Amino acid sequence: MASAALPEATRGTLLGHPKGLFILFFAEMWERFSFYGMRALLVLYLTKHFLMSDESSGMIYGAYTSLVYITPVVGGYLADHYLGQRKAVLFGGILIAIGHLLLGFEGGGGQDAVALNAFWTALAFIIVGTGFLKANISAIVGQLYPRDDVRRDPAYTVFYMGINLGGFLGPIACGLLGETVGWSYGFGAAAVGMLLGIIVFVIGKPLLLGKGEPAEPEKLSAPLFGPISQEWLIYILSVLSVLGIAWLVSHHDAVGVLLLACGAVATAYFLWEAFGRMEKIDRDRMLAALFLLALNPVFWGLFEQVGSSINLFTDRHVDRHILGWEVPASMFQSVNSMFIILFAPMFAALWVWLGKRGAEPSTPAKFGLALVQVGLGFLALVWGAQWAGLENATPVVFIFLIYALHTTGELCLSPVGLSAMSKLALPRMISIMMGVWFLATAAGDFIAGLIAANIGAVSAKSADPVLATLEVYSAIGWFGIGVGVVVLLLAPFVKRLMHLDRLKDA
């Protein structure tokens, strides 16, 4: 469409980018506000309101966060083939808002069965909603630019800032309200955040320049079953799937089986592609991608203690007084996003600076560094707590230190990994590769749940729960460092498999 045919508002740019980028920025910012705001309260709510053990809440946290990253694989597929991304994002946003509103129903606490069922249903709404929203809103960002547009990478950087601005503000607002005024106010704030995101997205529709629309709109809206169209069938089935997902969140083992099955199918499929259908160079790249994918669960398995066991540790054993005020534990969940906003530009500049000197670490080396840093973060907390004496509250500076190291680790792995997946995959396999990247993250979240549950179990049995927690942190810290060092040693071989020099020709 010629730009002259577009309404006035849709033309022009802001800060050199299509204005639509800022619609996506704010919509995703509010979605992440609700996601991280709610996540900050989750284990505190489980242990203090529903009086669950640390072990059970660790399991539930793991099941919830891993399902949140499994469903985007399906949401991405449905958007690509039927709905288009814009409708998928809008539908997802509505489901998420319903979920947060439903969470506001506290019921009687303890083992109140009605409240618990409402709770599982609420989490399931958020999981299904995020499946429709998360990957698809990121996809529209790319669609605003021609394929070879140099502004594409900076656009994703801007978008990642939106994610983390939401991740920063959510725990502050929802955490403060939830822990000081009442749980339902915290979850209510998350719902308001998501509703604001939906409003921004709906009002900003013209600025999306018709991107992310369904490929075959007539087919989508034509009656299929009686008066029900294909589009409505997807909506109805998705809402019905909430029931199954609600069952899954409370059945951790079933999520584990689901992940193993999906992981086995994905690995088998990739190996079949690699050895059955690909030339040597593409096969090598596929093997390099599999190597990186296998490290993803290790990283997130350690990192994702943040919202579960570290959140509980902060609540119970950290001196949270800052300027005379005892800061609620959940508010510290914003520190990771704060550091991302501060460090991301420095890392971008660092890679460029090192790159000019031929010293930029390769992608696998960055993964190794990420694992070393996430491990070191745990050791920093362990050493800090021991230095202060286990009978004393740990100084809050060590919480900042663990998050600082986890953030620098995240910056070596998360954006780097996404970009590597898009480079290593054959063009026909990019979507599936991205989906599997999220699946590997989901596996990490599941492992994180197992570790948090284990910490809960051993500290419940131990005479000194703090010591028991720190022993696990020490073990996983050294484990992260150990795997990281091995990855650093293997990095030159894996780098060769990536055949980066021949990427341009491809």
The beta-strand segments (E) located in 192-266 are 223-225, 228-229
| Closest distance to ligand GLN from the beta carbon of 392 (Å) | 33
CB 444 within 8 A of CB 304: yes
Could you give the angle at which helices 280-303 and 465-498 cross, rounded to 10 degrees? Answer: 170
| Closest distance to ligand GLN from the beta carbon of 397 (Å) | 23
Residue with Cβ nearer ligand GLN (291 or 437): 437
| Closest distance to ligand GLN from the beta carbon of 111 (Å) | 31
Residue with Cβ nearer ligand GLN (362 or 414): 414
CA 176 from centroid of its chain's CA atoms: 22
d(CA 29, CA 116) in angstroms, rounded, equals 29
> Does residue 163 belong to the site contacting ligand GLN (CB under 6 A)?
yes
Residues 486-505 as x/- pattern, contact with ligand GLN by CB under 6 A? --------------------
d(CA 146, CA 111) in angstroms, rounded, equals 54
| Closest distance to ligand GLN from the beta carbon of 69 (Å) | 7
Residues 264-303 that bind ligand GLN (CB under 6 A): 300
DSSP string, 388-399: H-TTSPEETHHH
CA 7 from centroid of its chain's CA atoms: 36
CB 43 within 8 A of CB 177: no
Residues 400-429 as x/- pattern, contact with ligand GLN by CB under 6 A? --------------x---------------
Q: Is 222 helix (H, G, I), strand (E, B) or coil?
A: coil
Residues 227-266 as x/- pattern, contact with ligand GLN by CB under 6 A? ----------------------------------------
| Closest distance to ligand GLN from the beta carbon of 407 (Å) | 10
Q: Which helix (H) or strand (E) holds 480?
A: helix 465-498
The bridge status of strand 318-319 relative to strand 394-395 is parallel
Residues 83-142 that bind ligand GLN (CB under 6 A): none
d(CA 89, CA 75) in angstroms, rounded, equals 9
| Identity at 426, one-letter amino acid code | L
Residue with Cβ nearer ligand GLN (127 or 382): 127
The beta-strand segments (E) located in 349-476 are 394-395
d(CA 338, CA 235) in angstroms, rounded, equals 36
> Does residue 441 belong to the site contacting ligand GLN (CB under 6 A)?
yes
Among 19, 24, 25, 32, binds ligand GLN (CB under 6 A): 32
Residue with Cβ nearer ligand GLN (10 or 305): 305
CB 214 within 8 A of CB 89: no
Residue with Cβ nearer ligand GLN (300 or 473): 300
| Closest distance to ligand GLN from the beta carbon of 181 (Å) | 26
| Closest distance to ligand GLN from the beta carbon of 441 (Å) | 5
The bridge status of strand 17-18 relative to strand 13-14 is antiparallel
| Closest distance to ligand GLN from the beta carbon of 310 (Å) | 15
CB 38 within 8 A of CB 100: yes
The first and second tokens of residue 249, run together, are: 């969140």
CB 392 within 8 A of CB 315: no
Residue with Cβ nearer ligand GLN (69 or 291): 69
Residues 299-318 that bind ligand GLN (CB under 6 A): 300
Residue with Cβ nearer ligand GLN (45 or 438): 438
| Closest distance to ligand GLN from the beta carbon of 32 (Å) | 6
| Closest distance to ligand GLN from the beta carbon of 304 (Å) | 8
| Closest distance to ligand GLN from the beta carbon of 364 (Å) | 18
d(CA 409, CA 391) in angstroms, rounded, equals 30
Residues 6+ apart with CB under 8 A from 503: 423
Residue with Cβ nearer ligand GLN (85 or 441): 441
| Identity at 479, one-letter amino acid code | F
Q: Which helix (H) or strand (E) holds 358?
A: none
> Does residue 71 belong to the site contacting ligand GLN (CB under 6 A)?
no
Size of site (CB under 6 A) for ligand GLN: 5
The first and second tokens of residue 65, run together, are: 């966060």
Positions that interact with ligand GLN (CB under 6 A): 32, 163, 300, 414, 441
